[in-house]
């Protein structure tokens, strides 16, 4: 029986690893925030009729944008 193991040779440890992890986390948070703002702005630009066609009410825009960015 064969076993496979994954070895990551570029693994950083110590202080540089924490900095790299922090930068990755920051980039991800910024990307999610950008998606939230873009989604919210695009939905806000729609008329009430267009929102109704999508099954949305204007009061739902923030929640829908949040779900698109943070729960997807």
Model pLDDT, residue 5:
64
d(C-alpha 47, C-alpha 6), whole Å: 52
Whether the per-residue pLDDT at 44 is higher than 60: the answer is yes
64 pLDDT band, cuts 50/70/90, is very high
Give the model's pLDDT for residue 34: 97
Which among 33, 36, 40, 35 has a CA at the least distance from the CA of 61?
Answer: 40
Give the burial string for 21-44 (b: 16+ CB within 10 Å, else e): eeeeeeeeeeeeeeebeebbeebe
pLDDT surpassing 90 at residue 9: no
What's the maximum distance between 2 C-alpha atoms anywhere in the chain? 62
Cα torsion angle, 53, 55, 57, 60, sign: negative
């Amino acid at each position: 029986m064969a076993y496979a193991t994954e070895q990551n040779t570029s693994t950083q440890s110590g202080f540089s690893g924490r900095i790299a992890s922090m930068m990755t986390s920051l980039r991800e948070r910024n990307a999610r925030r950008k998606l939230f703002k873009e989604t919210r702005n695009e939905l806000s630009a729609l008329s009430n009729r267009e929102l109704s066609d999508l099954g949305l009410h204007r009061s739902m825009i923030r929640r829908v944008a949040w779900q698109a960015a943070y729960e997807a």
